[in-house]
Protein backbone atom coordinates (compact mmCIF):
# COMPACT_ATOMS: atom_id res chain seq x y z
CA UNK A 1 0.00 0.00 0.00
CA UNK A 2 1.07 3.43 -0.75
CA UNK A 3 1.53 5.66 2.14
CA UNK A 4 0.27 9.18 1.70
CA UNK A 5 -1.98 8.37 -1.24
CA UNK A 6 -5.63 8.30 -0.40
CA UNK A 7 -7.38 5.06 -1.06
CA UNK A 8 -9.78 4.84 -4.00
CA UNK A 9 -13.36 5.30 -2.97
CA UNK A 10 -16.30 5.60 -5.34
CA UNK A 11 -17.85 8.47 -3.38
CA UNK A 12 -14.73 10.60 -3.75
CA UNK A 13 -14.49 10.21 -7.50
CA UNK A 14 -18.11 10.74 -8.54
CA UNK A 15 -18.62 14.01 -10.34
CA UNK A 16 -22.03 15.40 -11.09
CA UNK A 17 -22.57 17.56 -14.15
CA UNK A 18 -25.49 19.89 -14.13
CA UNK A 19 -26.58 20.85 -17.63
CA UNK A 20 -29.15 23.33 -18.63
CA UNK A 21 -30.70 23.04 -22.06
CA UNK A 22 -31.35 26.44 -23.48
CA UNK A 23 -33.99 26.59 -26.21
CA UNK A 24 -32.97 29.71 -28.03
CA UNK A 25 -32.23 33.19 -26.91
CA UNK A 26 -34.13 34.72 -24.07
CA UNK A 27 -33.06 38.24 -24.94
CA UNK A 28 -35.64 40.87 -25.73
CA UNK A 29 -35.75 42.17 -29.31
CA UNK A 30 -32.99 44.66 -29.68
CA UNK A 31 -32.84 47.63 -32.03
CA UNK A 32 -30.92 45.80 -34.74
CA UNK A 33 -33.62 43.08 -34.97
CA UNK A 34 -36.62 45.28 -34.24
CA UNK A 35 -36.02 47.74 -37.09
CA UNK A 36 -36.06 45.15 -39.95
CA UNK A 37 -39.07 43.40 -38.38
CA UNK A 38 -41.03 46.67 -38.31
CA UNK A 39 -40.01 47.42 -41.91
CA UNK A 40 -41.16 43.98 -43.07
CA UNK A 41 -44.49 44.42 -41.27
CA UNK A 42 -44.99 47.90 -42.79
CA UNK A 43 -44.22 46.64 -46.29
CA UNK A 44 -46.58 43.69 -45.78
CA UNK A 45 -49.30 46.08 -44.59
CA UNK A 46 -48.88 48.29 -47.65
CA UNK A 47 -49.02 45.26 -49.95
CA UNK A 48 -52.17 43.94 -48.24
CA UNK A 49 -53.84 47.35 -48.49
CA UNK A 50 -52.93 47.67 -52.18
CA UNK A 51 -54.30 44.20 -52.95
CA UNK A 52 -57.51 44.90 -51.04
CA UNK A 53 -58.03 48.19 -52.93
CA UNK A 54 -57.46 46.41 -56.24
CA UNK A 55 -59.97 43.71 -55.27
CA UNK A 56 -62.52 46.36 -54.19
CA UNK A 57 -62.11 48.22 -57.49
CA UNK A 58 -62.46 45.00 -59.50
CA UNK A 59 -65.57 43.95 -57.59
CA UNK A 60 -67.09 47.41 -58.01
CA UNK A 61 -66.51 47.34 -61.77
CA UNK A 62 -67.98 43.85 -61.97
CA UNK A 63 -71.07 44.94 -60.04
CA UNK A 64 -71.56 47.91 -62.39
CA UNK A 65 -71.22 45.67 -65.44
CA UNK A 66 -73.61 43.14 -63.91
CA UNK A 67 -76.18 45.88 -63.28
CA UNK A 68 -75.94 47.01 -66.92
CA UNK A 69 -76.30 43.42 -68.15
CA UNK A 70 -79.34 42.87 -65.94
CA UNK A 71 -80.97 45.98 -67.39
CA UNK A 72 -80.28 44.83 -70.96
CA UNK A 73 -81.55 41.34 -70.15
CA UNK A 74 -84.73 42.77 -68.64
CA UNK A 75 -85.38 44.88 -71.76
CA UNK A 76 -84.73 41.90 -74.05
CA UNK A 77 -87.04 39.70 -72.00
CA UNK A 78 -89.79 42.33 -72.13
CA UNK A 79 -89.39 42.62 -75.91
CA UNK A 80 -89.47 38.84 -76.28
CA UNK A 81 -92.65 38.62 -74.24
CA UNK A 82 -94.29 41.36 -76.33
CA UNK A 83 -93.28 39.59 -79.55
CA UNK A 84 -94.72 36.29 -78.34
CA UNK A 85 -98.01 37.98 -77.47
CA UNK A 86 -98.12 39.68 -80.90
CA UNK A 87 -97.33 36.39 -82.69
CA UNK A 88 -100.09 34.62 -80.76
CA UNK A 89 -102.52 37.42 -81.72
CA UNK A 90 -101.72 37.49 -85.45
CA UNK A 91 -101.71 33.70 -85.87
CA UNK A 92 -105.27 33.30 -84.60
CA UNK A 93 -107.58 31.91 -87.26
CA UNK A 94 -109.95 34.89 -87.25
CA UNK A 95 -107.12 37.39 -87.76
CA UNK A 96 -105.58 35.32 -90.59
CA UNK A 97 -108.94 35.00 -92.39
CA UNK A 98 -109.62 38.74 -92.06
CA UNK A 99 -106.15 39.66 -93.35
CA UNK A 100 -106.52 37.28 -96.34
CA UNK A 101 -109.86 38.87 -97.19
CA UNK A 102 -108.49 42.42 -97.03
CA UNK A 103 -105.20 41.93 -98.83
CA UNK A 104 -105.89 39.18 -101.34
CA UNK A 105 -109.68 39.13 -101.59
CA UNK A 106 -109.76 35.53 -100.39
CA UNK A 107 -112.79 34.56 -98.34
CA UNK A 108 -113.95 31.28 -96.87
CA UNK A 109 -117.03 29.86 -98.57
CA UNK A 110 -120.31 30.19 -96.73
CA UNK A 111 -122.28 27.03 -95.90
CA UNK A 112 -124.33 25.92 -98.88
CA UNK A 113 -122.31 27.99 -101.34
CA UNK A 114 -121.45 26.23 -104.59
CA UNK A 115 -117.78 25.92 -105.39
CA UNK A 116 -116.58 25.91 -108.93
CA UNK A 117 -113.11 24.92 -109.83
CA UNK A 118 -111.60 26.13 -113.04
CA UNK A 119 -109.58 23.63 -114.91
Q: What is the pLDDT along the chain (119 residues), one digit of tens a residue?
A: 556 666 655 555 555 666 665 565 566 666 688 888 999 999 999 999 999 999 999 999 999 999 999 999 999 999 999 999 999 999 999 999 889 888 988 888 777 777 666 66
In a domain, 42, yes or no: yes
Whether residue 9 is contained in a domain is answered as no
Query: What value, to the nearest 5°, has the Cα angle with vertex 28 and ends 23 and 29?
Result: 110
Give 12's contacts (C-beta < 8 A, 6+ positions apart): 6
In a domain, residue 61? The reply is yes
Q: What is the pTM of this model?
A: 0.48
Q: Does any domain span residue 69?
A: yes
Range of the domain at 40: 32-104
Query: Is residue 60 one of the residues assigned to a domain?
Result: yes
> Can you give the pLDDT at residue 66?
97
pLDDT of amino acid 34:
87
Count how many domains the chain has: 1
Q: Is residue 96 included in any domain, yes or no?
A: yes
Q: How many CA atoms within 13 Å lie on the side-chain side of 9?
A: 5
Contacts with 100 (C-beta within 8 Å, 6 or more apart), sequence order? 106, 107
Q: Report if residue 56 sits inside a domain.
A: yes
The pLDDT value given to residue 41: 96
Residues 6+ apart with CB under 8 A from 6: 12
In a domain, residue 98? The reply is yes
Contacts of 89 (CB under 8 A, 6+ apart): 95
According to the model, what pLDDT value does residue 114 have?
73
Amino acid sequence: MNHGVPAFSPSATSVTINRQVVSGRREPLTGNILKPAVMILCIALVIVLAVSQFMRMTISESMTELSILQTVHSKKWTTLTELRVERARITQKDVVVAAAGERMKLYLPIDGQVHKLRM
